[in-house]
Amino acid sequence: MTPAEKLAADLLAAIGDNTDNQAVNQWIDTGFAPLNKIMSGRYDGGLPYGRMLEMFGDSSTGKTALATKWMCRAQAMGGVAGFMDWERSFSVDLAKAPSFGLNDKRPYWIYGKPRTWEEGNTVAAKAALTIRKSGAIPDDAPILFVFDSIAAAMPKSQADKELDEYTMNDTTALARVTSTTLKAMAQVCEDANATFLYLNQMRLKPGVVYGDPRTTPGGKAMEFYASVRLALGRQKIMEGTGADKEFVGQKIGIQCTKSKFTKPFNECSLRLGFDDAGVASFDPIISLIEKLVELGAVPYSKPRVTWTDGKQYFVKALAQKLNAEPNGYAELVALLPK
């Protein structure tokens, strides 16, 4: 036995074998290949099992709409979705609309309005562990919990006080409690092979000349514990001219500011429209066409795209054509650079 072999044997006897590395090989498809790519480094990836994520942005940038779509996709994969509603603003009726398709029946849907930060995290942790241990869903089915939002959550230490009892210490209470809580939630994610998605608001730090002025409530803990962080912005989509001009949707810009799976700061955009009843829906087809044009993957002579059939189409007309075809989305994905 060589010295190295003897040392390996001694280490095995003293401390046991190396711990298995928790490599992520299961993903919740977001339904938009470019978004999967910027998060996970692969078009067939998406939200990682067993990890925490943060998605933040200004008001009305599509955070809850995206999260709802992903919860529905988790259910479609045979899994369970949950929503902890600190903001008291989630509409189950809108989530059940055909454009989303949420199943609001137990055990596939868990919804709560926790009073405190600690309560919301405790409920989600207990539920995720109970679901996975039950064996009622397949081992490869996802468990996705969404927390809306960190900024709206109230620490127990603050909730137990009257309004006139608040002090300066309450200003930093949320940052302190996230620091102690999130390390435990990261372990729950691994133990239950669950995905925890925390939504958050965005603030701008005053006086920043160099570096990123964006910051989020709740301190620095999420920046460390999240495997993926997504920053959202939006651009209004208007149609018509003059007095007839109206708001019909928005283009959501998504930047992955942190990823443990690929390089950070990649970006993509996704269109969000509204029907006559005001219900939101995403349009991955036209978003993919715009991405392919941006990448130069399809011939484009403004304002027309030359498609694989040799014909030229306006972007909107091509999107309508592909939306009507059963494999339209797959055709576009196949054109994305490998």
Q: Using CA atoms, how far apart are residues 305 and 91, in angstroms rounded to an integer?
A: 38
Question: Which of 36, 31, 29 lies closest to 268, judged by CA?
Answer: 36
For residue 13, being part of any structural domain is answered with no
pLDDT at 1 over 90: no
pLDDT at 209: 75
Is 93 in a helix, a strand, or coil?
helix
Angle in degrees, 0-180, between the axes of helices 315-323 and 284-295, rounded to the nearest 10: 130
For residue 314, being part of any structural domain is answered with no
* pLDDT tens by residue, 47-89: 999 999 999 999 999 999 999 999 999 999 999 999 999 999 9
Kind of pairing between the strands at 195-201 and 52-57: parallel
* pLDDT tens by residue, 224-282: 999 999 999 999 988 887 778 888 889 999 999 999 999 999 999 999 998 877 788 99
Phi and psi for 145 in degrees, rounded to 5? -115, 135
Listed in order, strand segments (DSSP E) in 184-245 are 195-201, 203-204, 214-215, 228-239
Domain range for 149 is 25-284
Question: Which of 80, 188, 186, 79 lies closest to 129, judged by CA?
Answer: 188
* pLDDT tens by residue, 289-318: 999 999 999 999 988 999 999 999 999 999
**CATH number of the domain enclosing 164:** 3.40.50.300
Give one DSSP letter per residue of 254-300, joined into a string: EEEEEESSS-S-EEEEEEEEE-TT--EEEEHHHHHHHHHHHHT-S-E
For residue 148, being part of any structural domain is answered with yes
Question: Which of 66, 56, 78, 106 lies closest to 233, judged by CA?
Answer: 56
> Which segment of 111-115, 156-160, 290-294, 319-323 scores lowest on mean pLDDT?
156-160
pLDDT at 167: 82
For residue 61, being part of any structural domain is answered with yes
Cα 222 to Cα 5, 178, 197, 300, 329: the distances in Å are: 42, 8, 11, 41, 34
pLDDT at 289: 96
pLDDT at 108: 98
Domain tally, the chain: 1
Taking the whole predicted model, whether its pTM rises above 0.75 is answered as yes
pLDDT at 306: 94
Q: What tokens were used for 149?
A: 């939002």
For residue 76, being part of any structural domain is answered with yes
Phi and psi for 151 in degrees, rounded to 5? -60, -30
Which residues contact residue 114 at a Cβ distance below 8 angstroms, ignoring those fewer than 6 apart?
84, 85, 86, 120, 123, 153
For residue 324, being part of any structural domain is answered with no
pLDDT at 199: 98
**Is omega for the bond preceding 149 within 30 degrees of 0, making it cis?**
yes
For residue 62, being part of any structural domain is answered with yes
Question: Which of 108, 116, 106, 217 lies closest to 160, judged by CA?
Answer: 116
pLDDT at 247: 86
- Mean pLDDT value across the chain: 93
For residue 318, being part of any structural domain is answered with no
* pLDDT tens by residue, 129-172: 999 999 999 999 999 999 999 999 999 998 888 887 888 878 89
